[in-house]
Amino acid sequence: MDRVSEETRIREVVRGITAAWREGRIGDLHRFYRPDVVFVQPGFSARLEGRDACVDSYREFLSVAVIHDYAEEEPAIDVLGDTAVVTTRYEVDYELEAARHRETGHDVLVLVRDENGWRVAWRTLVPGPPRS
């Protein structure tokens, strides 16, 4: 197994997720997540379990928010056998319930490689410092 080619495959998953939700292709997200995926809310305040619930969270957010700008840096990837931890710094500017929000943070993903390739098994967002 070539570490560089595995990291390339993982980057393709991360880019695919971003492209799908940014372009409103929510149904395309299913292929990037395991059926048993878990999303843990920031601050570990709640969790979503299962691919359908996690994919629906994108749909719900995009149905009530207007994204004005979104940018992310190249992900940092650590591959440990058939598991990978990916952290991606992001900045987002969006409007929700008539209020403008500008946030930074890190998207933290745990991917597992199985017969279907690399897919997300766990995710959380780690908010960054408030933007001034």
Q: How confident is the model at residue 73 (pLDDT cuts 50, 70, 90)?
A: very high
Whether residue 67 contacts residue 92, with contact meaning beta carbons closer than 8 Å, is answered with yes
- 9-65 pLDDT, tens digit per residue, is 999 999 999 999 999 999 999 999 999 999 999 888 899 999 999 999 999 999 999
Please tell me the predicted confidence (pLDDT) of residue 68.
97
Every domain of the chain and the residues it spans? 3-127
pTM (2 decimals)?
Answer: 0.92
Q: How confident is the model at residue 132 (pLDDT cuts 50, 70, 90)?
A: low
Fold assignment, 3-127 = Nuclear Transport Factor 2; Chain: A, (3.10.450)
Sequence-separated (6 or more) residues with CB below 8 Å from residue 119: 13, 31, 32, 33, 34, 37, 111, 112
CA distances from 37 to 5, 21, 91, 108, 111 (A): 24, 17, 24, 13, 10
Please tell me the predicted confidence (pLDDT) of residue 131.
62
Q: How confident is the model at residue 129 (pLDDT cuts 50, 70, 90)?
A: confident
- How far apart CA 111 and CA 2 sit, in angstroms, is 17
